[in-house]
Structure 1
């Protein structure tokens, strides 16, 4: 009986030993797998840390570049503003010098021509701050001063102006007088153009090349009457008329206070502006 127990105990021990031998390799394999997994995760962690560090470094460098570019742009803008300011100052000095020279020659542009004994004078006209036509005269300097060519309108008596001002002794006086005539002419012409453009209901019945005569047909609302307005510009150096006259079948209309006031306005203001006032007051329409 005891021998039987001994054999069974021995067999049980051998069985336990066999089971242990089977489990032990499995345990060692699992441990090795876990260790490999840990190593892989550690390597991945280190790699991610390295990537994060690299990205942070890149971000910092980008920020430095952006800040540097911003500073350079601001500096560039300041440099550009300073450069522009210097150019403006230089231009201002240049313009002052040109104005000084312009004043010396009487305010007119005088340039040399291909011929050494001739010069060209330019006269610019304007009305209400708007530059209009430009006129030129070519003057022969030697042996005596005289006009060779020009584009002054023929209805402006250029030769009479040159003779009256004595161009040989007073060139600036002659140019001043001619400039007054030209500016007055283009001013009257511009007023006529504005009347036609802004007041089509004011019919232009008569005018001339010099724009020294203007006759308008005006309709008076409410009275079914028409009135002729005649403006004469006898002073060819001015844009305003020297004489204004009204003609109407109803003789009471020109003698009325409102039309006497209209006549006064036409003597003191440009005709297109007076027509605006008359229209607003319902004197015409």
Structure 2
């Protein structure tokens, strides 16, 4: 009787174990089914998005082709009030500009023309700051019999020959042009900042600046005591538009050691000077 009872208990326990495994397996299967359903739904949404993008791209290509074929008279007859047409035109223009930028990038990002019957190259380097195009500089490079710098209108304070030697103009012309462009854009950016300070901050007096715009002395006014504070900005890194050193001077040194003026020092080192002055005025630290 005991053996039979023991067998009965073991059989019951075995049944419970199999049942528990079965339930666990079913729970895992249900979880897996939910996961797969969610993945299918995500893929379906992505498929619809791709279809919409493909249709939009086809419409843009058709519009670009039709615009190329039509003359000015035919364009005037089109419905100018159609919002969809206007949107498609803008999208077509945007796509066209992206193609031009891509092509420009493939040739190194510089406008260049052959000179001296293929023996030379004239490169145009355009500078810009905050989306505004500024000065354009031209550099002629002789290719034969040896690569060397020819005529140019690069400012004399840009170390042109030193850059050519450091980077080796003979073997890596693009690296040389990239570095030169960096110097020119940084100079143009500092020059533009100085211009914006003079135009938009009449209460700030520009005491001194050099041709390279690597040194800038500003006279600020503290609003509470009407105290004059001399601010000097030193741009020792000529490839950047931000100063590497900012220093304040005034009669009351305690003012300059206050937390607010320490914040102003960090602000001027991390933000273009014309924007930093706007923030300082909003905080009430300068007039």
Q: Smaller-chain TM-score range?
A: 0.5 to 0.7
Most deviating of 238-247 and 111-120: 111-120
C-alpha displacement of 1:279: 1.3
| 1:1-285 paired onto structure 2 within 5 Å | 76-77=77-78, 98-285=100-287
* Aligned CA distance change for structure 1 residues 91 and 142 (closer, same or farther; 3 Å): farther
TM-score with structure 2 length normalisation? 0.67
* Aligned CA distance change for structure 1 residues 143 and 257 (closer, same or farther; 3 Å): same
Q: Distance in 1 between matches of 2:201 and 2:78?
A: 51
> How many pairs does the alignment contain?
212
C-alpha displacement of 1:132: 0.5
Q: Distance in 2 between matches of 1:93 and 1:122?
A: 25
Unaligned runs of 5+ in 1: 1-72
Q: Distance in 1 between matches of 2:225 and 2:204?
A: 17
Q: Distance in 2 between matches of 1:274 and 1:231?
A: 12
Unaligned runs of 5+ in 2: 1-73
C-alpha displacement of 1:99: 3.6
Q: Distance in 1 between matches of 2:90 and 2:280?
A: 47
* Aligned CA distance change for structure 1 residues 196 and 94 (closer, same or farther; 3 Å): closer
Q: Distance in 1 between matches of 2:230 and 2:88?
A: 60
C-alpha displacement of 1:225: 1.3
The structure having more radius of gyration, on CA atoms, is 1
Q: Distance in 2 between matches of 1:206 and 1:111?
A: 40
> Over aligned residue pairs, what C-alpha RMSD do you find?
2.9
* Aligned CA distance change for structure 1 residues 89 and 282 (closer, same or farther; 3 Å): closer
Partner of 1:43: none
* Aligned CA distance change for structure 1 residues 93 and 251 (closer, same or farther; 3 Å): closer
Most deviating of 196-205 and 108-117: 108-117
C-alpha displacement of 1:206: 0.9
Q: Distance in 1 between matches of 2:78 and 2:96?
A: 25
Q: Distance in 2 between matches of 1:93 and 1:260?
A: 47
C-alpha displacement of 1:95: 5.1
Q: Distance in 2 between matches of 1:173 and 1:235?
A: 18
C-alpha displacement of 1:280: 1.6
Structure 1 stretches (4+) deviating beyond 6 angstroms? Answer: 83-94
Q: Distance in 1 between matches of 2:283 and 2:195?
A: 23
